Chain A
Amino acid sequence: MEWMAWTWPTAIFFIVIASLLIAFTVLAIRFPETPRVGILRIETTRGDRLFITLLGSAFINLAWLGLISGPQWGALIVCLVFAAAVFRWV
């Protein structure tokens, strides 16, 4: 595994993503749901909303890094607000 050049922060990052995926898979099996149509006018399931949240969060972090030179945890707060909005309205 040495060749992969692991660091603790990246390991934690991947553990969080993997845990989210597992949690949402278990949720989908235990509590099946019907897709709903939100403000984007597309059908989404919980998994879709998680994908939109993660992809959106990546761009929020990049935008924060490129445009605003504040501390990066600021972007994380924006991401959490974004995630709540996606799960509520999309």
Chain B
Amino acid sequence: MEKTVNHKAWLLVLPVLVLVAFSAVIPLMTVVNYSVQDSFGNNVFFWVGLEWFHEILTSERIHNALGRQLMFSAIILAIEIPLGVFIALNMPKRGIWASVCLVLMALPLLIPWNVVGTIWQVFGRVDIGLLGHTLAAMGIDYNYTQDAFDAWVTVIVMDVWHWTSLVALLAYAGLQSIPEAYYQAAKIDQASRWAVFRYIELPKMQGVLLIAILLRFMDSFMIYTEPFVVTGGGPGNATTFLSIDLVKMALGQFDLGPAAAFSIIYFLVILLISWVFYTVMTNLDKREGA
């Protein structure tokens, strides 16, 4: 069938363009304008050039926040991806228990971020929280408000609790799409369980796992609400991730210039990573389709 070329159809995209311009492009332009100026309020600005960018790029505070952020993302990916795959492999494939599992797995995903934060904030408290109180009763010295290590453990376990389901559900969907014939062929060849996983299940899950890694990385790299509610970035600066630091700078100190420069660098990093993942994914699809 011949494809009709009609560029007038582009006019239908116009409302979306206007919406995106209003909600994303114009605010982003304003941030760029702020990043090269200094302001003391009242909409009065002074030109400073690239000074804020230089300050942010050489700031130890930002380097430390970036280090913490990368470590957080690396740790949660290292836990959530294998754990999610492991859970998906062990979920029932059909029948009533498959539905029960799916509903149970989807539950944490439905809870809003600030509620998850509040749940864990209370859950971990030594005086009234079930987890904190139980650990204290067992003689384990746990206090996420005072000990940096405990705060990290709490924030990581909370993220794993909240988001492993997503990885598991995606991996499960990938597993369900494998035709039975593959497993029968493996059985005829007397393939081991590991061989089935390595040469059938893992390659077939590759696409969805990449999406899972992308989603979890982006989300963890931008995480704000949950650690903010649980630890407020503390104790000290122990769990102050990039976005928490950014909000402190922009709203706490009202340093609009440095905060704008910081936002732009943050945005560029996320844009780069998204592009890399997107390119890898689309090329993978093309290779599979070929």
Contact = CB atoms under 8 A, between A and B. Distances in A.
Interface of A: 2-7, 9-10, 13-14, 29, 41-43, 51, 55, 58-59, 62, 65-66, 72
Contacts of B7: 29
The size class of the interface chain B forms with chain A is: 20 to 34
6 contacts: A4-B30, A5-B30, A7-B33, A65-B53, A66-B54, A66-B57
B37 A5 contact: yes
B177 interface: no
A7 B43 contact: no
Interface centre among A7, A14, A72 (most CB of B within 10 A): A7
A16 to B, nearest CB: 13
Nearest to B44: A5
Contacts of A58: 268
Nearest to B7: A29
B1 interface: no
Contacts of A66: 54, 57-58
B283 interface: yes
A65 B54 CA distance: 6
B268 A6 contact: no
Q: What is the interface of chain B mostly: helix, strand, loop, or mixed?
A: helix
A4 B286 CA distance: 43
Given A9-B36, A13-B32, A42-B283, A4 B57 contact: no
A52 B271 CA distance: 11
B37 A7 contact: yes
Contact of B36 (A10, A29, A43, A59): A10
Nearest to B269: A59
B130 interface: no
B33 A5 contact: yes
Contacts of B283: 41-43
B268 to A, nearest CB: 5
Interface string B252-290: 000000000000010010011001000100010010000
B29 interface: yes
Interface in B14-35: 26, 29-30, 32-34
B128 interface: no
Contacts of A43: 283, 286
Nearest to A29: B7
Contacts of B54: 65-66
Contacts of B36: 7, 9-10
A60 to B, nearest CB: 11
A55 B271 contact: yes
Contacts of B286: 43
B161 interface: no
Nearest to A3: B43
Nearest to A37: B283
A14 B28 CA distance: 11
B50 interface: yes
B275 A55 contact: yes
